[in-house]
């Protein structure tokens, strides 16, 4: 039983601990040979020895600094052998796979624990990643590039290793149908990169996940965000190259010192920018971060109220954007058959990333079976706040 954990903020820590405790209980009650329990990820890197002391039932602890050693450590715990050059097994749906291009982060955002947990930015080589992506593309139609800062890819490796070079290699894989890039820092979305993306065309999807975190320059300056403090410029630049682009972002509300005026500026920006997708998080004062030591902390009830207000605004914007697709025919990647009734499938169109965005429900005729992992043309007949529904 392998549990991949998050230790970024307190709610994630609590969820991870709850999951581990549930796994311990399930393992103890399992018939036959007791399964080994392995715990991996950020929680281990952040609280290693304390976890080991408090949860002796866990058989294997895997921290992110030893990620290359995980296969050998797991094999040793299971008393098996590691196969050299064994193909990667997928734990995702039969429609997509993540390609992690880098580990860690070298930015100094004052609210963030990632550099202390995962260390400085470290990239894998272009050849290694393109080879892995080529193998993945034989199994799934969509590859999703991820990293703490994807636009910083290769900055630690020197010539021949940067996001444009990697992107050219990935886009040239014949079997790949969709290529999505997540976690694009605003400063890295230069005109030269956007020109390359536009000229490449398929399989690149014009979906831009840009973690802005706030819109007011005073708050951004206090956060220590590593880019020019006018997010409107970034949004306008992307849309000047991709007028049809789907934009996703995340914001933190209730950061120390955030005033009503700062929050109103954020609301105004969201109204104007009209993001396809938006996530909102109340600020959490994490131990060891400079922001946690600031004097002007915002009360929890104000954080919660601001989150709810912003999400209510975004829900209305999302509903309007989704309604605009009614009557259009969109490509939809089929992920699974629904349990609601025969012939109903759940998929995603090009502006819906897995796990974080909405989905598209697809109805097929009784005599038609849609293959999981296939891309089909769907006529959109209905829109909800975040989801779409249509017919093949």
Side by side, which strands form the sheet with 60-62? 2-5, 38-41, 60-62
Contacts of 273 (CB under 8 A, 6+ apart): 231, 232, 235, 247
249/244 Cα distance (integer angstroms): 16
Contact (CB, 8 A) for 345 and 364: yes
Rounded to the nearest 10 degrees, what angle do helices 42-54 and 10-29 cross at? Answer: 50
Q: Is 105 marked as binding a ligand?
A: yes
Contact (CB, 8 A) for 291 and 338: no
Give the closest residue to 143 by CA, choosing from 190, 183, 177, 118: 177
36: phi then psi, degrees, rounded to nearest 5: -75, 145
First to last CA, the chain: 39
Counting Cβ atoms within 10 Å, is residue 272 exposed (0-12), middle (13-18) or buried (19+)?
exposed
345/342 Cα distance (integer angstroms): 8
Residues comprising the binding site for [4Fe-4S] cluster? 105, 109, 112
Binding residues: 105, 109, 112
């Amino acid at each position: 039983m392998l549990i991949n954990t998050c230790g970024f903020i307190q709610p994630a820590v609590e969820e991870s601990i709850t999951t581990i405790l549930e796994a311990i209980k399930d393992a103890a009650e399992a018939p036959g040979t007791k399964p080994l329990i392995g715990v991996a990820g950020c929680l281990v890197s952040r609280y290693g020895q304390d976890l080991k002391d408090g949860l002796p039932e866990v058989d294997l602890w895997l921290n992110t600094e030893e990620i290359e050693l995980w296969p050998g450590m797991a094999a040793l715990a299971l008393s098996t052998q590691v196969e050299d050059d064994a193909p990667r097994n997928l734990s995702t749906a039969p429609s997509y796979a993540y390609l992690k291009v880098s580990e860690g982060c070298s930015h100094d955002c004052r609210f963030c624990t990632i550099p202390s947990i995962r260390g400085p930015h470290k990239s894998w080589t272009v050849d290694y990643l393109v080879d892995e992506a080529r193998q993945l593309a034989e199994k799934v139609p969509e590859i999703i590039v991820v990293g703490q800062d994807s636009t910083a890819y290769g900055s630690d490796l020197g010539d021949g290793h940067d996001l444009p070079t990697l992107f050219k290699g990935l886009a040239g894989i014949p079997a790949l149908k969709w290529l999505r890039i997540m976690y694009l820092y605003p400063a890295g979305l230069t005109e030269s990169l956007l020109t390359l993306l536009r000229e490449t065309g398929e399989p690149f999807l014009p979906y831009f996940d840009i973690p802005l975190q706030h819109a007011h320059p005073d708050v951004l300056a206090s956060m220590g965000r590593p880019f020019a403090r006018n997010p409107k410029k970034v949004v306008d630049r992307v849309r000047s190259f991709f007028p049809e682009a789907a934009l996703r972002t995340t914001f933190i509300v209730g950061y120390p010192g955030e005033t009503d005026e700062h929050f109103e500026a954020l609301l105004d920006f969201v109204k104007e920018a009209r993001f396809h997708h938006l996530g909102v998080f109340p600020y959490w004062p994490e131990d060891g971060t400079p922001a946690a030591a600031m004097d002007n902390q915002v009360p929890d009830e104000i954080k919660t109220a601001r989150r709810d207000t912003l999400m209510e605004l975004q829900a209305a914007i999302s509903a309007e954007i989704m309604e605009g697709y009614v009557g259009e025919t969109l490509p939809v990647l089929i992920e699974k058959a629904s349990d609601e009734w025969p012939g109903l499938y759940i998929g995603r169109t090009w502006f819906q990333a897995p796990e974080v965005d909405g989905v598209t429900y697809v109805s097929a005729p009784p005599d038609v079976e849609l293959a999981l992992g296939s891309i089909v043309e769907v006529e959109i007949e209905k829109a909800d706040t975040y989801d779409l529904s249509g017919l093949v």
